[in-house]
A and B are shown apart, each in its own frame.
Chain A
Amino acid sequence: MRIGLFATCLGDVLFPDVPRATTALLERLGHEVVFPADQTCCGQMHTNTGYQRDALRLVRHHVEVFERALAGGVETVDAIVGPSGSCVGSVRHQHAEVARRAGDEALAQRADAVAARTFELSELLVDVLGVTDVGASYPHRVTYHPTCHSLRMLRVGDRPLQLLRAVRGIDLVELPAADSCCGFGGTFAVKNADTSTAMLADKMAAVRQTRAEVLTAGDASCLMHIGGGLARLRTGVRPVHLAQVLASTQDARWGVGA
């Protein structure tokens, strides 16, 4: 299958190992990965902060870029994958709404068409590619945080856990109160920094309770938040994206060290 990679702006600029690991994983499974180079950002931050008029141009840009990837040229992709629950959530749940609110019904329908072919990583692997054992090896004690938008916007359910359970050598431990928000919430972390920090403190306590060495999740943004707190307190727990865990093999380790 030829798969279009939606790297996400955060993945592109701050956490390039996440889209790189996604690429490595999918190629190892025998698929072709295409990176539509015109892509930028889904506009989620603008939408969620109230700047829907600014988000509209980002939505239009995203739709145009991935519409081209899906519909034409020599490298037509069969599906689009984004290694982020919240970015894929925004594409699927918000893009058409932003367009509709601006009175652009045609764009809304195009956005829905792109969204219908866009998948979060665990969805793509389990539902589209039909694989739960991706042949990964990751000999570490790991706990999994199911990020809010993966859980409640995309309803990925236990797909990430199905994938993690099949990883060789992994010591997967359950995170207490796993479904509680870590307190990130995009600009919420800045606008309501005190409340966000109180939520973060409880999430970190839960992570520490597992005695895990690695915290994994399907969203680089939530991991940046929890990881930023864990690093500040020198807890010795490392945030590693789900894609990095699944890309790891005995010969290729991802998410080890800085």
Chain B
Amino acid sequence: MGGGRVTTHLGMPGLRPPAGHGNLAGDVSFPTAARKALADTQLRRNLGHATASIRAKRAAVVEEVPDWEALRDAGAALKAATMARLPELLEQLEANVIARGGHVHWARDAAEANVVVTELVRATGADEVVKVKSMATQEIGLNEALEAAGIAAHETDLAELIVQLGHDRPSHILVPAIHRGRAEIRDIFVREMPGVDASLTDEPAVLAAAARAHLREVFLRARVAVSGANFAVAQTGSLAIVESEGNGRMCLTLPDTLITVMGIEKVVPTWQDLEVFLQLLPRSSTGERMNPYTSTWTGVTPGDGPQEFHLVLLDNGRTRVLADEQGRSALHCIRCSACLNVCPVYERVGGHAYGSVYPGPIGAILSPQLTGLDGGTGDAHPNDSLPYASSLCGACYDVCPVKIPIPDQLVRLRAEHVEAHADSHRVPTAEAASMRAVAWVMADATRFARAGRAAALARKGIRRGKPVVPLPPPFSGWTASRDLPDPPAETFRDWWARTRGEEGGS
């Protein structure tokens, strides 16, 4: 273990991999949260506009890469190979970070990671940190933990700053304030930004200038920075961050101390592998050929940049996902958010409906796997509704730069959810009982033929020519907005038997 102050071991013998904690689940199930989000007209408009424009940008820059599909295959293969020897690569990464003057800490879950970071900041004597946008620190709720310890965390990514000043939660992996319009942002700045000019307009350039003036002061003052990481190269112990605004570069170079919190799945074996991901990520993510800033650093360089560097390797449920060979590919995600932007469900409900900091299709498979479908409760949990938050349209898979089979994973997680309930309860749910009955009928052509005839007759009897019949729950969800088809006079198999004289029906 490296020279950190708090160290724990990853995968201690005899211990079951811990479940993830922190901001990985909401308080209510997806359908409930979605209903509320769907009624937010501003959200609907902002999301519809933003996702459509980023979709078009991505499509255009992907179109111009002749070997895009080969790149995706390479990305998928590299991730699979990395996961197959993750422990070894992490130890290599640790050794190389330490060899170049950095410190490495291992955190089993959110609470441990927060303690590690809080203690590291305290040891510097600082009472504030600057932060470059990081999903991992959002996941563990680091800002709240630091605040509880009397340490102010300043988000420096513009969208993340908007979210923080608005006492809000991010709703997108890449563009966390996607749900906000410029008038709302202007109001948040006027209300919350210290020393801001109250005559501020909602022109994007004016808003950006106000944020820049505010942030410059913080950058020049702060002595400690906290970052996430997009990639870590095991070969040399180097870390990499890609970003667009230059705030990351400021955080990574100006302060004396840099603390990086990184999920253990972010490691790549070599620089050659990094090359593949640096092509895949910007085009998938912001729809750019190349992102404006790519920063890489290796340990500590005397007289240049932070003189103290700490790497916190976060598990928080990842080992648990890794242990499941069927579910493991959820860890391949490079957080580009292309799947969010093409998802017809995300486009309409936004990120908050998913409860977790990881929304959209990837969140619907990653969050429940990190926490466990039951969230460790042994019972119903909001995250058990996430695998159903998809029409299985498949658009996510088509854009995923590392080809995570998200629709297949959703279907598999649904089965795990249903089967876990069936195995732990003596009485089946109403849904399970009816599914079982339908399967029994459908497993035999004679039974099915009878049921088909009976259904047609019953519908005719009930409807008596009326165009709409509201059905009881759960089918009321259908008749609330859609008519039922007119029942046919005769099933196909009866028609076939009647006209073709075959054995058909019975």
Contact = CB atoms under 8 A, between A and B. Distances in A.
Interface of A: 7, 9, 11-17, 19-20, 35, 37-41, 43, 45-55, 57-58, 61, 94, 97, 101, 148-149, 151-153, 179-181, 183-200, 224-225, 227-229, 231-232, 258
B88 interface: no
Given A14-B485, A40-B443, A195-B31, 19 more contacts: A14-B487, A16-B490, A17-B488, A20-B492, A40-B444, A47-B411, A50-B419, A58-B443, A149-B394, A179-B395, A189-B482, A190-B478, A191-B474, A192-B388, A192-B389, A199-B391, A229-B481, A229-B483, A232-B468
A52 B345 contact: no
A227 B411 CA distance: 26
B475 A152 contact: no
B344 A183 contact: yes
B394 A195 contact: no
A193 B480 CA distance: 8
Contact of B439 (A54, A94, A200): A54
A51 B435 contact: yes
B504 A48 contact: no
B295 interface: no
B418 A51 contact: yes
14 contacts: A16-B491, A37-B496, A37-B504, A39-B445, A40-B443, A49-B435, A55-B439, A57-B439, A181-B391, A186-B392, A188-B392, A198-B348, A199-B348, A231-B483
B136 to A, nearest CB: 29
Contacts of A198: 38, 348-349
B485 A15 contact: yes
Contacts of A192: 30-31, 34, 345, 388-389
Contacts of B392: 48, 148, 185-186, 188
Nearest to B493: A12
B390 A197 contact: no
A193 B478 contact: yes
B432 A51 contact: yes
Q: Could you tell me the dominant secondary structure of chain A's interface residues?
A: helix
B394 A229 contact: no
B390 A185 contact: yes
Contacts of B477: 189-191, 193, 196
A215 B2 CA distance: 65
A20 B498 CA distance: 13
Contact of B411 (A11, A48, A148): A48
Nearest to A231: B483
Contacts of B478: 189-190, 193, 228
